[in-house]
C-alpha cells in the first residue's frame, strides 16, 4: 500500500484524506519540509516530539549519536535504567511526549530541542496526530520489543542461472501475495511488509500484538503450502526449493535514504533477524524451524471493565504458541490450493522421548560459525485437500539426534600409563580442529 509523503497515511483511502482539513494538511506539509531539511540526507534523526501552541518541539541528533551515547559506560542513569535501555524505551511506541518529558529527555541527552513553526496549532484529531507520528518515524529510528518475523530462504540460490533466480524470486513473491489474498478472503488481514535478503525475504506484520503474531504464523503456513504445490506442478528450476524460519523477538526499524528522501517502506534489523539468519543457515531444504521464544498468548482476550484495566497478557513458550495456533487452524478450512479446497490443516512440533522417558517437543541447539548457540524446534504440517494429502516440513527420520559421546569414552582416550601412539596423536589433533569448527545443529 502506497503512503502519502505528506500525511504518512495510505494515499488510497479517501476517508483518511477527508478527515484531515486543508489547514492541517498544510501544517503536515510544512512539517515534512522542515523535517527533510533538518534530516540532511540521513545525517540527523528525530527522536521525539511535543506539541506547542505555535508549532512543534522536536529533538534531533546526529545518526551516530545514539551509538556513542549507549557506549558510554559511566553515564548517569534514570530510574535504574542504563543508557541503552533508556534509548530503546525512548524510540519505542509513540513518539509524542509532554513538554515536561521532552525537556527532561533533552537534559539527559544534553541536546537542545528544535522548534518547528507552523501556521496554526495542530489539532488533537486522531488522523492528524497519527500522520505526525508516521512522519517522525520516517525521519528517525524505532525499536520494537517483540514482533514475529518470518525468513524464507531459497536453497542453493547462487547455483542457478540469473533467469532461474529471477523466476524463483517472482514465484516466491507470488506465493506471498496469494497467501495474503486467501487469508483476506477468510477475514484475516496480514498487513505484511518484506525486505529481500538477496536469496529470500524477511517478512513481518506491520501490526503488533499477539493476534498479529498468530496471523503471520498462518500466513507462513499458506506460503509454504503454496510453494510446495507450485513446485510439484513446475518443470525446471522456476519454482524455488525453500527453507523457512519463524521467530519472535526485538528489532530496530529504519527508513533508508532513497535519493534525497527517506523511503516509504521500512527495514528491520536486530536480535530477531540475526537469530533467523543463524537458524536458516543450518536448516535443511523444506525444513520449517520455529525459534525458542516467549511471547504474549494469542488466545488471551483483554476485558474492557475497569477491574481488568491493569491486566496484561500471560507469556507463553514457543510450543504453547504453536499449540494455540494449531487450535485456530479450522478457520482456514475451505481455502483453495491449486484449485483444491483444504479439508483439514494441522501442524505440530516434532516430538521425542527424553532421558527421563518423558515425551515432548524435540528442541535443537544451533551453533553458528562464531560458536554462539540458540535453540529451535522443527515444525511439521499436514494438509488434506480434495483427493490429495500434503506433508510439509521434515519428519523425525530426517532430523539430527542427541550425541551419545561413546567415541570419546573409548578409542579416543590414550591408555593409562602408556605414551600416546601416532594414531592417538592424530586423533587428538583431529578433535582439536573439530572443536574450532563448532557450526552445526544437534538435539539439545
| pLDDT value for 12 | 41
| pLDDT value for 70 | 86
Q: What is the residue whose three cell numbers read 507450485?
A: 230
133: left (phi over 0), alpha (psi -120 to 50) or beta: alpha
Which CATH entry fits the domain spanning 145-374: 3.30.70.100, 3.30.70.1230, 3.40.50.150, 2.40.10.120?
3.30.70.1230
Q: What is the pLDDT confidence band of residue 244, given thresholds at 50, 70 and 90?
A: very high
Cα(233)–Cα(343) distance, rounded to whole angstroms?
Answer: 20
- Across the range 323-344, mean pLDDT stands at 91
More confident residue, 304 or 89: 89
Cα(342)–Cα(337) distance, rounded to whole angstroms?
Answer: 7
| pLDDT value for 3 | 41
The per-residue pLDDT for range 410-420, each reduced to its tens digit, is 444 555 556 67
DSSP-derived 3-state class of residue 193: strand
Cα(5)–Cα(3) distance, rounded to whole angstroms?
Answer: 6
Q: What is the pLDDT confidence band of residue 177, given thresholds at 50, 70 and 90?
A: very high
The per-residue pLDDT for range 255-290, each reduced to its tens digit, is 876 666 666 678 899 999 999 999 999 999 999 999
| pLDDT value for 404 | 47
Q: What is the pLDDT confidence band of residue 371, given thresholds at 50, 70 and 90?
A: confident
Q: Inform me whether the pLDDT recorded for 95 exceeds 90.
A: yes
State the span(s) of the chain assigned CATH 3.30.70.1230: 145-374
| pLDDT value for 416 | 55
Q: DSSP states of 357-404 as a string?
A: S-EEE-EEEEE-TTS-EEEEEEEEEEEEETTEEEEES--GGGS-----
Instruction: Return contacts of 271-274, CB within 8 angstroms, 24+ apart.
Output: 272/147, 272/149, 272/247, 272/248, 273/149, 273/151, 273/202
Q: Which of 17-26, 255-264, 322-331, 406-415 has the lowest mean pLDDT?
A: 406-415
DSSP-derived 3-state class of residue 16: helix
| pLDDT value for 410 | 44
- Across the range 117-127, mean pLDDT stands at 89
Cα(408)–Cα(426) distance, rounded to whole angstroms?
Answer: 14
The per-residue pLDDT for range 135-147, each reduced to its tens digit, is 999 999 999 999 9
Segments in 91-161 forming alpha helices (H): 99-109, 126-138
Task: Give the β-pairing of 288-291 and 242-254.
Answer: parallel
Grid cell for residue 396:
523425525
Distant-in-sequence, close-in-space partners of 353: CB < 8 Å, separation ≥ 6: 359
Top mean pLDDT of 61-65, 356-360, 440-444 is at 61-65
Asked if 157 and 64 count as a contact pair (C-beta separation under 8 A), the reply is no
Cα(302)–Cα(264) distance, rounded to whole angstroms?
Answer: 33
More confident residue, 287 or 358: 287
- Percent of the chain whose predicted confidence (pLDDT) is above 90: 57
Nearest by Cα to 20 from 128, 121, 129: 128
Burial label for 45, CB within 10 Å (0-12, 13-18, 19+), is buried
- Across the range 146-163, mean pLDDT stands at 95
Q: Inform me whether the pLDDT recorded for 304 exceeds 80.
A: no
Amino acid at each position: 500500500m502506497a503512503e502519502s509523503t505528506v500525511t504518512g497515511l495510505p494515499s488510497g483511502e479517501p476517508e483518511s484524506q477527508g478527515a484531515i482539513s486543508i489547514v492541517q494538511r498544510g501544517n503536515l506539509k510544512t512539517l515534512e519540509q522542515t523535517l527533510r531539511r533538518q534530516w540532511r540526507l540521513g545525517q540527523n534523526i528525530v527522536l521525539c516530539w511535543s506539541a506547542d501552541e505555535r508549532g512543534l518541539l522536536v529533538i534531533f541528533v546526529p545518526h551516530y549519536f545514539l551509538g556513542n551515547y549507549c557506549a558510554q559506560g559511566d553515564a548517569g542513569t534514570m530510574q535504574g535504567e542504563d543508557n541503552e535501555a533508556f534509548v530503546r524505551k525512548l524510540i519505542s511506541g509513540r513518539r509524542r511526549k509532554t513538554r515536561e518529558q521532552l525537556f527532561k529527555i533533552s537534559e539527559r541527552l544534553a541536546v537542545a530541542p528544535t522548534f518547528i513553526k507552523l501556521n496554526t496549532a495542530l489539532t488533537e484529531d486522531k488522523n492528524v496526530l497519527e500522520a505526525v507520528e508516521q512522519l517522525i518515524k520516517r525521519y528517525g529510528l524505532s525499536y520494537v520489543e517483540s514482533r514475529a518475523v518470518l525468513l524464507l530462504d531459497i536453497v542453493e540460490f547462487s547455483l542457478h542461472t540469473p533467469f532461474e533466480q529471477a523466476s524463483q524470486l517472482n514465484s516466491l513473491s507470488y506465493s506471498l501475495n496469494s497467501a495474503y489474498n486467501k487469508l483476506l478472503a477468510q477475514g484475516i488481514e496480514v498487513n505484511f511488509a518484506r525486505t529481500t535478503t538477496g536469496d529470500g525475504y524477511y517478512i513481518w506484520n506491520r501490526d503488533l500484538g499477539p493476534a498479529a503474531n498468530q496471523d503471520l504464523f498462518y500466513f507462513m503456513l499458506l506460503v509454504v503450502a503454496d510453494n510446495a504445490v507450485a513446485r510439484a506442478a513446475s518443470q525446471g528450476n522456476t519454482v524455488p526449493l525453500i527453507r523457512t524460519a519463524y521467530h519472535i523477538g526485538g528489532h530496530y526499524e529504519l527508513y533508508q535514504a532513497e535519493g534525497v528522501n527517506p523511503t516509504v517502506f521500512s527495514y528491520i534489523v536486530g536480535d530477531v533477524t540475526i537469530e533467523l539468519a543463524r537458524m536458516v543457515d543450518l536448516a535443511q531444504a523444506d525444513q520449517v524451524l520455529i525459534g525458542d521464544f516467549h511471547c504474549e498468548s494469542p488466545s488471551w482476550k483483554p476485558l474492557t471493565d475497569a477491574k481488568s484495566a491493569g491486566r496484561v497478557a500471560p507469556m507463553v513458550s514457543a510450543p504453547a504458541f504453536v499449540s494455540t495456533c494449531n487450535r485456530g487452524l479450522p478457520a482456514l478450512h475451505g481455502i483453495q490450493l491449486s484449485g483444491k479446497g483444504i479439508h483439514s490443516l494441522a501442524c505440530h512440533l516434532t516430538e521425542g522421548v527424553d532421558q527421563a522417558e518423558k515425551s515432548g517437543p524435540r528442541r535443537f541447539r544451533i551453533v553458528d560459525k562464531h560458536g554462539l548457540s540458540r535453540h529451535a524446534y522443527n515444525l511439521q504440517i499436514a494438509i488434506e485437500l480434495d483427493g490429495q494429502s500434503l506433508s510439509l516440513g521434515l519428519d523425525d527420520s530426517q532430523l539430527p539426534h542427541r550425541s551419545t559421546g561413546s567415541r570419546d569414552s573409548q578409542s579416543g582416550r590414550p591408555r593409562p600409563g602408556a605414551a600416546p601412539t601416532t594414531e592417538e596423536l592424530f586423533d587428538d589433533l583431529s578433535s582439536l580442529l573439530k572443536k574450532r569448527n563448532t557450526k552445526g545443529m544437534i538435539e539439545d
